[in-house]
A = this chain, B = another copy of it.
Amino acid sequence: GDAAKGKAKSATCSACHGSNGIAQIPMYPNLAGQKEQYLVLQLKAFRSGERKNMVMAPMAAGLSDEDIDNLAAYYASLNPAG
């Protein structure tokens, strides 16, 4: 994935997951420095409905495979310490 393109798509994500990938809300996960492949798998699982979540389902519904690869690359590239 292309982290720069992922960053350009991340505005919606950042409302809950933080502009630096550190979540603003304790029930939501940090994404900064997370494994890229894990993030791809989870976004695809939210998109397919395999992983059920009322917030993430509509977010993921509009993402292409390329968008998902790019978002995963972007969040994986961020400093996990914030």
Whether the pair B38, A23 counts as a contact (CB closer than 8 A) is yes
| Contact-residue bracket for chain A | 20 to 34
Give CA–CA (A26, B51) in the complex, Å.
19
Cβ-defined partner of A38 (8 Å) among B29, B38, B41, B80: B29
- A70 interface residue, CB < 8 Å from B? no
**A41–B28 CA distance with the chains assembled, in angstroms:** 9
Say if the beta carbon of A36 comes within 8 Å of chain B: yes
Cβ-closest 7 pairs across A and B: A80-B80, A26-B37, A29-B38, A27-B37, A81-B81, A26-B35, A80-B81
A interface residues, Cβ below 8 angstroms from B: 23, 26-30, 32-38, 41, 50-52, 79-82
